[in-house]
Amino acid sequence: MYYLDLIEIKRLTKDLLPRARDHQVDERLRGWNWFDSPIRPYSNELLLPVWDIACSICPTRRDAWIRHKILRRSVPTTVHQAKGFIVHKLISSMFLKAKKLVYLGYNELRDELIRNAEESIKKEISEMKKNIDISDKDVDDLTDFCKQIARWQATRIESKVLEIKAKYPFLNEESLVQLSFPIATEIVVDGSLLGLSKYLRADAAWMLGGIIFDVKLGRKEEWHRLQVAGYALAFESIFERPVDIGCTIYVSKAGSNIRIDRDFYIISDYLRSSFLEKRDELQMMLLKDEEPDIASNCPKFCVFRSFCLK
């Protein structure tokens, strides 16, 4: 999922990174300026998850209000989002398991990774069914799709480890892990300086810094980049190092195969300020404690329809 191909490496090194260096982000929009406007949050009392701020499924943001004021837990607004959470977990759990296997001295990882992934898919889907209404057909489709992803990813991981081992046959486990997995997955960062959750979890980041990855299902949506901008700001507020590049990885079905598209972009001033604007608006709305109106054009896939449109 996170191994780049030759074209992507060329684009990154010859185009995106030089452009990011030439057109530096406005210093006021770096996360390390969290004590000053416009990074300073409207309130430090209400800490919000990044995805809750970035995603705009409900036109009046009533979905966020239902989560915070009624349910008081982090429930996705659509079945599609819930499926996305499962795919996220699957991918990061496979990287974690692969690292453990390398440390334990396993030579062949693929079969063990697939076996482990299939157990975790079953567990995650049964958890999801407790929170959200999902048809049996959707469950079967999701299970098949996750298994496809697991097989593909297990093969990629094993081949990467074997490639590194063939190049450096005498590496110890620590070096083998570092070279085979140049990304850290499920990175937890405290976003409270920015009015964000204390327990933000980005899907992955380049070990040497500067790039954040986020996995999404299906088609591109504008808010996906905003979500990565939110993580970048939080990283900068804690680590005081610039995060200039985002990458949203789109995973979808293509007949009997899976398709992976990686969208690389600069985390620009525009993305940063749009995220901050949405953060302030949502904090203000929730702190005022006014119930938002029911939208006039509710998307048909919103899981809160039974709540709002009784």
Q: Does 187 bind ligand SF4 (CB under 6 A)?
A: no
Residue among 187 and 308 whose Cβ is closer to ligand SF4 = 308
**Least spacing, CB of residue 83 vs ligand SF4, in Å:** 18
Report 122-181 residues binding ligand SF4 (CB under 6 A). none
Is residue 264 within 8 A of residue 16, CB to CB? The reply is: yes
Is residue 86 within 8 A of residue 128, CB to CB? The reply is: yes
**Least spacing, CB of residue 65 vs ligand SF4, in Å:** 8
Residue among 63 and 158 whose Cβ is closer to ligand SF4 = 63
Q: What angle do CA 75, 270, 252 make, to 5 degrees?
A: 45
Element (H, E) at 203: strand 200-206
Q: Does 79 bind ligand SF4 (CB under 6 A)?
A: no
Q: Does 48 bind ligand SF4 (CB under 6 A)?
A: no
**What residue spans of the chain are helical by DSSP H?**
6-11, 17-22, 50-54, 62-65, 79-103, 110-131, 136-167, 173-180, 222-239, 269-288, 305-308
Q: Does 63 bind ligand SF4 (CB under 6 A)?
A: yes
Query: Cα–Cα distance between 65 and 289 in angstroms, integer?
Result: 9
Contact pick of 37, 294, 300, 301 for ligand SF4 (by CB under 6 A): 294
Contact pick of 34, 85, 213, 304 for ligand SF4 (by CB under 6 A): 304
Q: Does 67 bind ligand SF4 (CB under 6 A)?
A: no
Peptide bond into 76 cis (omega under 30): no
Is residue 27 within 8 A of residue 265, CB to CB? The reply is: no
Q: Does 114 bind ligand SF4 (CB under 6 A)?
A: no
Q: Does 282 bind ligand SF4 (CB under 6 A)?
A: no
Contact pick of 29, 50, 58, 154 for ligand SF4 (by CB under 6 A): 58
Residues at the site binding ligand SF4, with contacts judged by CB under 6 A:
58, 60, 62-63, 294-295, 298-299, 302, 304-305, 308-309
